[in-house]
Amino acid sequence: MATSALLLATACGRQAAVAPSATPVKPRPAAPSPSSSSGPPNQQRLDEAADAVQRLGASRTDSFTGIEVDDPGNRVIVYRKPSSDFDAALAQLRTGVRIETRNAPRSIGELTTVRNRVTTLVGHTTGYTIISVGDGSEVSYTRGVVEVGVTGDLTRAKHELGTRFGDEVTVAAGQPAVD
Cβ(170)–Cβ(143) below 8 Å? yes
Q: From CA 34, how far away is CA 53, in angstroms rounded? A: 23
Q: What sign for the dihedral angle of Cα 7, 116, 143, 59?
A: negative
Short-list 67, 79, 78, CA closest to 106: 79
Summarize pLDDT for 111-142 with one digit per residue, the tens.
Answer: 999 999 999 999 999 999 999 999 989 999 99
pLDDT at 176: 75
Summarize pLDDT for 96-118 with one digit per residue, the tens.
Answer: 999 999 999 999 999 999 999 99
Lowest mean pLDDT among 2-11, 73-82, 90-99: 2-11
34 pLDDT higher than 80: no
Q: From CA 69, how far away is CA 15, in angstroms rounded? A: 6
Section 139-154 average pLDDT: 96
pLDDT band at 3 (very low <50, low <70, confident <90, very high): very low
pLDDT at 13: 32
Section 56-66 average pLDDT: 96
35 pLDDT higher than 90: no
Q: Would you list the domain boundaries of the chain?
A: 4-103, 108-173
Q: What sign for the dihedral angle of Cα 32, 38, 44, 49?
A: negative
**How does the average pLDDT of the chain come out, rounded?**
81
25 pLDDT higher than 70: no
According to DSSP, the β-strands at 75-80 and 98-103 are parallel
Q: From CA 99, how far away is CA 77, in angstroms rounded? A: 6
pLDDT band at 38 (very low <50, low <70, confident <90, very high): low
pLDDT at 1: 32
- Cβ contacts of 121 within 8 Å, gap of 6 or more: 130
